[in-house]
Structure formats: structure tokens, C-alpha cells
Structure 1
């Protein structure tokens, strides 16, 4: 068995050397699709109210403003997070350069209309945020 592992190791090093001999050249991804993945941990007993706010306000504001909706939302059944939400980044990495994007402005204007006033919209956002005890956000590129 040790001989087999030694031969396999030598073979892998030989093959990897073949790739190292090719000239390296710059190459961009062709039409990369970027996604923002957010994992949320809600305070105990608060997830249902948080989901009500998402459905009654956030989703309606996105629909009204014609801003991107999540591509996927999962209720987690294991691990430390309660929910995982995935958004397609329509502008790719370039979208990360906005402090406040035009879509953010349109969304908050719709949220204000639905809530009745900017103060009420902010109050609802604050209530939702009070239910979150932890979150983690990651950036990912579509693998295939």
C-alpha cells in the first residue's frame, strides 16, 4: 500500500508540472453572475413576526419599486442561522460601490408609501432589525 501511495504521489507531481510549464495569461470570467448570500439568526420567538414584516412590507415595497427580489429564501433546519436569503447582484461587483444605490432609494420610497410615512417606514425597519441577533453575509459567483 505504501508503494502505491508513493507512486500515485509521484504521478500527481509529474502531472502538476505539466500545467506549470504552460504560459500563464490573464483571463476574465465571461459574464459572471454574482450573488449576495445573507444568513440571519432571529431572536427566539421572533422569526414569525420578522417574516410578516418581510411579506407585508419588504416584498411589497420591492414589487412596487420594481427592485430586485430575493432569488431564494430558505428556512434553515440545522446550524446556527434561521434563514438564508440569496439576491442576484444585477450589476455584479460594481453594485458594491454604492453607499446608497438608486434601487435603495426607490425601495425606501415605496416602503414609505406602504407604511404611510418615512417615520413609520423607519419604525418598521427598526422593529425588524431588533429581531435579528446575528447575521453573516457572503459574496458568491455562480459556479456553472
Structure 2
């Protein structure tokens, strides 16, 4: 029995270092980020007859983005399928941005909406109006290789 345990221990000892060796733990160079651009992709379907009003509001949203110095998202007006709009917004913080408690660009944009509408209350009303036009939404995250 004792001999069996000693043999098992002799085989198991090298395995304890396997995880460190598997990820090149011994290399001196720091890990490298992949050369990717990450995007939030939003799909939106509006209530019947509300697409035109929603697109007018999107124009205001674009003006605000430009005014506060944000990169404009790519906005696709869909001609087929179940969605009316597909919006691709670059994630400047990369995939790590998903862990942010609050997005600094979102705060910057909201401040622009408050300025545009004249008050926090008016901005909330404007945003709720836009939200009332939406029948369904979904969001995905993807990347492109640079």
C-alpha cells in the first residue's frame, strides 16, 4: 500500500506545475491584447407607424453625439428582416467596457441631452418618448479584426 502511494505521488508531483507551464507562465514578456475593435450591436423594432418619428429623434441623438465629441455609431436602416434599425457603436474600452459600472461616454451623451432639452426632467421625458416608440430590442457584442 505504502509503495503504491509513493508511486502515485511520484507521478502526481510533475502535474502540479502543468497549469503554469501550459500558459507559458515562465515567459518574461507581458501578455498581449488581441488586435480587435469591439462593438455593441443594437437591433430595434418600432411600433407600427412610429419608424419616421424614431428616425427624427435619432437625428437629434446624432447631433448631440457630435456636439459632445463622441464617435458616431454606424446606423443601418434595415430594408428586410424583423428589425427596423441596427446600430453598431464602437466600444472604446474594448471588451473590458462590459464590466464598467457606468460608461463615461454615456454620461457625456446624457449631459448633452440635458443641455439640448434644457433640464434633467425634459431630457427624461424626451428619452421616455423615444423608448415608447420601441416595440422590441436586442443587444449583442462582437468584434472586427484590425
TM-score (norm 2): 0.74
Deviation at 1:73, TM superposition (A): 1.1
Stretches of structure 1 lacking an aligned partner (at least 5 in a row): 1-23
Stretches of structure 2 lacking an aligned partner (at least 5 in a row): 1-21, 25-30
Judging changes above 3 Å, is the alpha-carbon distance between structure 1 residues 50 and 34 closer, same or farther for their aligned structure 2 residues? same
Deviation at 1:91, TM superposition (A): 1.0
Alpha-carbon separation, structure 1, partners of 2:34 and 2:72: 24
- Give the secondary-structure state (helix, strand or coil) at the position aligned to 1:33: strand
TM-score (norm 1): 0.75
Alpha-carbon RMSD across the aligned residues, in angstroms, is 1.9
Q: Select the structure of larger CA radius of gyration.
A: 2
Alpha-carbon separation, structure 1, partners of 2:103 and 2:84: 28
- Aligned position for 1:49: 53
- Aligned position for 2:82: 80
Trace 1:1-144 onto structure 2 (pairs within 5 A).
30-56=34-60, 58-70=61-73, 72-143=74-145
